[in-house]
């Protein structure tokens, strides 16, 4: 039943966000009747939605009034630093349609997530809505905090984030390491979004952007570490080997290449979050989630003298495979 009805939970959360439930309850809570009036919905859906969100642990009931629970208060009220609803809505609107055709993806070995122009790069302007990048920003921020705490970057002076999106990962790494400077490399329209986020974070003097396509353009040198965070799961092995080779070419001897991902167990028995993210890649990309052993082998083949894995727990990654260029 839990597996069969997982959609019910996700859509309850989405409905609560899109009707403004958590924002409304942030102002002292409300009774079911008050909420119905404030949201402009009927008494029946108000009662049903409040009961469902309470049962899911998102709300607390005190007498006849409903209040946001701790998780909702931190992640689901607009304006909070860790506001996560953009990611929830991105999943509902952008990712879910492909998932509803998962059987087709399994049978055809091709993405089923609709894109406006399937003949172009799936990440090009117009092929992904801006809400995709907004949704990934908080997701990446929460992941980057755990990455920054798990990996010692005290010896790194300048880092390049290849496919760095709107800059969330580098912003968090720079907050953790005041000596660090870095660069986000991504497609031109994504760099524009990154520039806005970087400037808003007060990091304009420490983080730059380079508009480029890492399949067509050379990876810029001048960095002693390169990060691939939640990038390689989008692509097949041959393309990943190309990306890794390009990143290593840009590094000096002793430079570090870091691959941060939800790593599948080496025996491919799990864990659940990595396995389901791999299914997400099946319905949306030409990639899958790989094991630490697979990444380690590719890094050694490309010229890394030493490879090791650091484990941590985060929404978008459970470990980082680190290769040191010979």
299 with 323: CB under 8 angstroms?
A: yes
Tokens of 52: 């469902």
Q: Residue 311: phi, psi to the nearest 5?
A: -95, 145
* Cα dihedral 78/81/84/90 (nearest 10): 80
Q: Render the burial of 236-271: b for 16+ CB within 10 Å, e for the rest.
A: eeeebbebbebbbebbeeebbbbbbbbbbeeeeeee
47 is written with which tokens?
A: 């009662």
Cα Rg, the chain, nearest whole Å: 21
Whether 223 is catalytic is no
How large is the angle between the packed helices 43-55 and 32-39, nearest 10 degrees?
120
Q: Which of 179, 223, 233, 308 is catalytic?
A: 233
What contacts 24, CB < 8 A, 6 or more positions away?
30, 35, 38, 39
**CB burial class (10 A; 0-12, 13-18, 19+) of residue 182?**
buried
**E-state strands within the chain:** 59-62, 65-68, 158-162, 181-186, 207-211, 225-229, 256-261, 304-311, 319-325
Catalytic positions, written as ranges: 233
């Amino acid at each position: 039943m839990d597996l069969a009805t997982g959609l019910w939970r996700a859509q309850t959360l989405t409905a609560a966000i899109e009707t403004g439930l958590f924002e409304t309850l942030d102002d002292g809570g409300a009774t079911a009747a008050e909420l119905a009036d404030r949201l402009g919905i009927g008494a029946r859906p108000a009662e049903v939605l409040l009961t469902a969100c309470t049962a899911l642990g998102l709300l607390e009931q005190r007498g006849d009034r409903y209040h946001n629970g701790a998780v909702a208060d931190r992640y689901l009220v607009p304006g909070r630093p860790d506001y996560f609803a953009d990611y929830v809505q991105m999943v509902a609107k952008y990712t879910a349609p492909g998932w509803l055709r998962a059987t087709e993806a399994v049978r055809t070995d091709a993405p089923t997530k609709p894109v406006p122009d399937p003949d172009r790069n799936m990440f090009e302007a117009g092929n992904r809505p801006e809400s995709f990048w907004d949704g990934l920003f908080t997701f990446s921020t929460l992941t980057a905090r755990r990455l920054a705490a798990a990996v010692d970057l005290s010896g790194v002076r300048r880092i390049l984030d290849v496919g760095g999106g709107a800059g969330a990962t580098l912003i968090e790494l720079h907050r953790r390491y005041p000596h660090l400077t870095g660069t986000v490399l991504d497609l031109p329209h994504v760099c524009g979004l990154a520039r806005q986020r970087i400037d808003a974070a007060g990091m304009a003097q420490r983080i730059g952007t380079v508009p480029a396509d890492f399949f067509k353009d050379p990876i810029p040198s001048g960095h002693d570490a390169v990060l691939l965070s939640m990038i390689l799961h989008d692509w097949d092995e041959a393309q990943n080997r190309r990306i890794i080779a390009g990143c290593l070419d840009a590094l000096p001897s002793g430079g570090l290449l870091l691959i941060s991902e939800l790593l599948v167990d080496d025996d491919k028995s799990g864990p659940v979050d990595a396995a389901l993210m791999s299914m997400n890649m099946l319905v949306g990309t030409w990639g899958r989630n790989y094991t630490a052993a697979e990444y380690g082998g590719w890094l050694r083949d490309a010229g890394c003298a030493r490879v090791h894995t650091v484990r941590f727990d985060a929404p978008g990654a459970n470990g980082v495979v680190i290769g040191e260029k010979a």
